[in-house]
Chain A
């Protein structure tokens, strides 16, 4: 990665330069009334095309991506992004399709979405799917709205959502948007949900249990069916956060282990890119009895082909201006069609094999939070590290070895946690290199801890001052 400073677009700007090329217009001009017109031009940069191309190329060189190396981010799942996905999403029949195109002239897109819904229903073991949510957290919100609408229809929206202490921060935030109170359920000694605590908290005020399975410790909630029964017996529903679906593809299905609602992060499980923070896509899958509550419009198959159906009186409404992140749906569809059933099952098997291999190789070198069989990710910690070396130090030092750091300080129930998810697209050699780097950091912590405290040494910048950023609050460049 390049370590030379890159000036901002605004610093590079020179009056009179331009990178645009637009048609000249023989059309009639007419002025806007003065009270509506902008008085001065927007202070955008003035650059030629080559200036712009160099700027962004150089910025790209100051970034790490999966294409440069391993990205072992637990619960965030950064796997290889196949190039065919990028090609198909750009076919002009998809990319140039306007969302108001009459459905009769968009049958290919509707067919693809209908088929993807069916495939996601089969994979999740749930009957009905909406592709509209634009991200995982957007899917959570939508799924919880479905739950709330269902309970409301039955006469009582209920008040609370129970969430294990290992949950993603989006779970409580999404619950709050749906006007639910959040109550935390603890974990047992094996890192699973504490069933006694769950039973004690479960009552007729609880709308749902919101659980991640495999959970964010990387462990399969082996008593999930009992947990679901406790919730169902008191009229609640089970929401499964689908962040870790990639560990169980074709092995077990949320619908089969008691989930009523789940979202599926297409960017985590089905290889659509995260792109520095999105776009993602977060389809929601529900049991058949909840289908009427899904967002509008729904896709329906009629004798004449596919069409939109807006006439769904129990629906929670619209969650997106159009139909969701269609371009991401094309990528996920392409991936599932390439892999097939056996391919997807192998994805999970190899993801679990890699994580288990790393866990077993490092558990004598780093503190292992829960020594249990793991799924696609494992959680270590900085407990007992010599030289005052912290999890953040380890993360920054890994950059010097050419790895993106793992997820750090999450889940919250493990102090100083380091959450590693290699994914199935990393080879044995890459896993070995990562293990070796982790072992060297441990050795260096004993002999030369200052070097680790000062890492990274080979990144584009040294450690950045977060406190100053928040204090000075410089969120835009000066004119």
Chain B
């Protein structure tokens, strides 16, 4: 039992100093009738070599993990520079606790402060929190925040929002008095502005639009903001933040909140988690924000330092009146994103964004030449919907035989049929990969 240091002698010494005869008497405060009179029924313990064998066998059963892939749809395959993982594994970071005791947590706190700075600059908003669970819950928290700030009880939600995010908003709001109303999207994949004009904006506390949306399509946020023209909190949700290295940021387009997924910045896809909820807003709303914030201050000598601040909003002080119930957040994931953003920097992030879009544009052209049709004409970032010449399930099956995952079939989603496929292209795909995919689409 290598994680427990106690020798038999240690145990004897400790028991004698506290005046107990036996370890089992430590549990005398638990009524006998409530004590489990047997061992837990668990598989037998494994040594480290056995664990490695067992876990690597399980990992290898996931043959989808190592295939050439065009999967996106809310999680994006990006390269993570080697420096990130090595820095994350420094024990002072990954074995640290929430930085309540600021004097011995300056590393975490400064990293969070810098994370807040980079995220707020990326989205063109004044403040960002110190990370949340994932893009879906960050978007749901944005809706709850809007409901605290505004009287309207309707929430207008883009039909092009990631369906999982929509589902999480539904879960978070199901017991309150909010009503979700869907904003339809048009034939080009963008929000139908004529339909929006007739929606009950005056009764809404929030308007949630997605860009890039679930179909990879980029919205004209400034035009949408102008069209909404009401008191509702305008929320921009996204799951591919890399796009904002080249897109006009939500803040510059008049958004009140930008909420989304940050996993693209250096995190593993890891079957969907842990990921990184991003959340940025205007300064005037800072006291209604969910989650944690780090702030700059000074110590008794006047030296600069950092602390968690404005925590009177939080659950450990305000309890049932808190802005959210969040306690544990995703600080280590935020640290990974900070390292990622500082490595790529001012020149690298736009270059990477451009590479993603250029490759995706190439894929669009090659797949169209192979007989598929673009489902939406509006501009996209690094993913797009193709209508294939035959069923997407056939293409998935044919691709699997050739060690490739062609994308995410959209059958079952409102307005899509069994030939629609969401294809995502990142810097991890080569033009050869794209040619292989085009060949499968053409020839099966």
Contact = CB atoms under 8 A, between A and B. Distances in A.
Nearest to B219: A36
Given A145-B175, A317-B171, A459-B104, A350 B4 contact: yes
Given A59-B107, A134-B137, A337-B46, A21 B81 contact: yes
A29 B354 contact: yes
B368 interface: no
A20 B136 contact: no
Contact of A176 (B102, B246, B320, B329): B320
A285 interface: no
8 contacts: A35-B223, A63-B104, A102-B400, A135-B328, A275-B333, A341-B40, A461-B106, A464-B298
- Could you say which of B77, B274, B359 has the most chain A C-beta atoms within 10 Å of its C-beta? B274
A141 interface: yes
B97 A78 contact: yes
A283 to B, nearest CB: 12
Contact of B271 (A148, A322, A372, A405): A322
B64 interface: yes
A416 interface: no
B343 A52 contact: yes
Interface in B315-365: 315-322, 324-333, 335, 338-339, 341-352, 354-355, 357-359, 361-362, 365
Contacts of B17: 357, 360-361
A437 interface: no
B5 interface: yes
A99 B135 CA distance: 14
A141 B342 CA distance: 35
A469 B43 contact: no
Contacts of A122: 40-42
Contacts of B130: 277
Given A57-B90, A145-B175, A334-B51, A27 B30 contact: no
B266 to A, nearest CB: 12
- Could you say which of A19, A73, A360 has the most chain B C-beta atoms within 10 Å of its C-beta? A19
Contacts of A198: none
A303 interface: no
A220 interface: yes
Interface string A185-227: 0000000000000000000000000000000000110101100
Contacts of B315: 137, 169-170, 172-173
Contacts of B66: 92-93, 96
Interface stretch (B181-189, B199-207, B299-307, B436-444): B299-307
B293 interface: yes
Nearest to A89: B270
Contacts of B405: 98, 101-102, 105
Contacts, number: 701
B114 A340 contact: no
A357 B55 contact: no
B272 interface: yes
Interface stretch (B6-14, B152-160, B228-236): B6-14
A337 B54 contact: yes
B274 A325 contact: yes
Interface in A396-455: 396, 399, 404-405, 410, 424-428, 454
Contacts of A138: 133, 137, 325
Nearest to A349: B23
Q: Which 3 residue pairs spanning A and B have beta carbons closest together? A: A322-B272, A93-B59, A275-B332
A33 B377 CA distance: 13
Interface string B114-142: 10111011100011101101111100000
Contacts of B43: 119, 337, 340
Contacts of B223: 35
B328 A280 contact: yes
Interface string A15-53: 001111111011111101101111101111111010011
B379 interface: yes
Interface in B21-54: 23, 26-31, 33-36, 39-46, 48, 51-52, 54
B436 to A, nearest CB: 15
Interface string A81-114: 1101011111111111111111001111101100
Contacts of B304: 5
A46 B310 contact: no
- Could you say which of A22, A219, A410 has the most chain B C-beta atoms within 10 Å of its C-beta? A22
A66 interface: yes
A44 B121 contact: yes
B285 interface: no
Given A353-B23, A373-B28, A25 B355 contact: yes
B273 A322 contact: yes
Contacts of B54: 337
Contact of B359 (A27, A63, A338): A27
A100 to B, nearest CB: 5
A122 B358 CA distance: 51
Given A93-B66, A94-B62, A456-B103, A278 B36 contact: no
